[in-house]
Structure 1
């Protein structure tokens, strides 16, 4: 006999972890399956820090999810004795009328998000470690914060288990088939499980063949990230360093987070929309190339003169890109009762508590089309 669950969540990155947590809170009999380890260096969710911001330059479609996610992160923090949220604020800089600045300001205004507009001179006066050309401006969001990413995701799993969820690591789901009123999931270790409902939150794995709904839509990308150390005697200058976005004149978009613990000293920094290459898991654990390091070093030297420009470390993250770089959340047409989420195009971590709640509600019968209409698969069918 195969064990039968109310729901099985496949993939325990941050969105899958949040979904398992929310389903377990409903006292569902749920199982989480993860092909890798609890911290998977070949995935999208690992690492010490992520940015949470609601002055969202990507557009107002995200505002309701961001508001729900904000509450979810605070709820998670209340369950933990460890600091998961670091209230750094967020500084979003770019040329006057650039997409990052104008979009952040517009979303902040639409969502009633507390923020300030700053000139380049005001940026340098308030945040002396930044260099901003006189043709630049910024939005500062006081309520933005930096998430302790690994600790927060593992706390979601802790909470899921505390509410009765089960988890298995190190086994791939090879096939999902309908068996009468349930789904049979065949695993790579030779075992199988049954589920009334299934959630696929496998990141780049959604580009594979478990369901055909997303065939040809997703592009998994490898994106390097870096850590730069403080120059001698400069560490105190970064005491109030905000999470940031910094759009350069040529459109390259830098992002970064402050040091929130000693495991990743200095400043984390990378390009959001640049230095991307097709994902190759055979090389994913290798550091960035010399050419990539030289390019980021030149930017660090220009923008942060109090950092040692050449990174002391680099790793790679996975972005699973959609054609419009927005999310895809839905229910399979081929296998109704199998839901999919993710393909978050490199900016989905912050939304995880809200996405988990959306999926938990969907499994209870609430329409995803009504909850998240902007992120339906159907927008690519026209």
Structure 2
């Protein structure tokens, strides 16, 4: 028997899970499908923590979506017995004229986001874990927080199921076609599913042939991330006094990091946001992080965080699905009306997941994408 659903969400990473969570509040008869497991070790990103910040150096165009996303993260947290957001604050450091400093300040001012600008001396006094070079500045956003990533995604799915959504793991969607019954999805096990509308959020899988819109517009990259433990003899409390951070080095390399927020992942998670990126190739991605990459970030840790062991105790590879301009692509499939997709989050999409999920759910319910995401349309590349 062929099942029919109002909406099918394909891909249950953080954006797909957020879409299903929001859909379950307003729509009955919804299904979420993922080729992997609920916690997918082959997914795009890894680690128990993510940064949420609104003093966004990437630009003020993101402010409306950041505001929506922040409200929804707190709503999600309020419904969970476990702590999903931790009020760590966010510290964004760089040379005085750097984009991380100047543009974070500009966005914070435009968005009326509470922030402080700190000199190198003030950073050292307030955040002694950071060894800041003379002539640097920092922007401290007290309202920034750290998200418990896996717990948040699992809670989204749990809420959706309690609201009546169905989940199916271990089967991929191999085709979507329009038929007299609406949209027909064929799964890898041969099962056919009919849907009125579809939300597509398959990350790296968006570069496959389910839709043709993104052909030539996205490029997956393999990017390592590392975990560091404090030195045994250091006097700093990295568990309670360490903010989520960005740190732009004088040569332009940008470090990011999150503190330990739970017992399941020890130490500080740190990586380069704009460096050590190589074109994604499945075989290479499965190999260990190159020793030269480990040596490079270890040298940075010695320089910036003398209280941490500079050799990472663990490392993994994430996948950045990059667009040409480093922003998102959110649209309705040109040749498959009723299929709404989000892709190419370009390495900074997790914090927006609640807002993007809300807007994709709204589009799947109404049949129309909200005007607020028009700036992310694939049409901008035409």
TM (norm. structure 1) is 0.97
1:73 matches 2:51: no
For 1:98, the equivalent position in structure 2 comes to 98
Unaligned runs of 5+ in 2: none
Kept in 1, the 8 Å contact 2:363–2:370? The answer is: no
Kept in 2, the 8 Å contact 1:42–1:284? The answer is: no
Trace 1:1-382 onto structure 2 (pairs within 5 A): 1-234=1-234, 236-238=236-238, 239-365=240-366, 367-368=368-369, 370-381=371-382
Q: SS state of the match for residue 22, structure 1?
A: helix
**Any idea what the Cα deviations from partners look like across 1:88-139, whole Å, max 9, x if unmatched?**
0000000011011111111111111100000011100100010111111010
Kept in 1, the 8 Å contact 2:116–2:140? The answer is: yes
Distance 2:257 2:23 in 1: 32
Distance 1:119 1:338 in 2: 49
Equivalent residue pairs, number? 381
**Any idea what the Cα deviations from partners look like across 1:309-329, whole Å, max 9, x if unmatched?**
010110111110000010010
The structure 1 segments of at least 4 consecutive aligned residues displaced by more than 4 Å after TM superposition are: none
The alpha-carbon deviation at position 367 of structure 1 amounts to 4.0
The alpha-carbon deviation at position 208 of structure 1 amounts to 1.1
Q: SS state of the match for residue 297, structure 1?
A: helix
Unaligned runs of 5+ in 1: none
Root-mean-square deviation (Å): 1.2
TM (norm. structure 2) is 0.97
The alpha-carbon deviation at position 23 of structure 1 amounts to 0.6
The alpha-carbon deviation at position 360 of structure 1 amounts to 1.5
Distance 2:32 2:344 in 1: 19
Q: SS state of the match for residue 283, structure 2?
A: coil
Q: SS state of the match for residue 270, structure 1?
A: strand
Q: SS state of the match for residue 8, structure 2?
A: strand
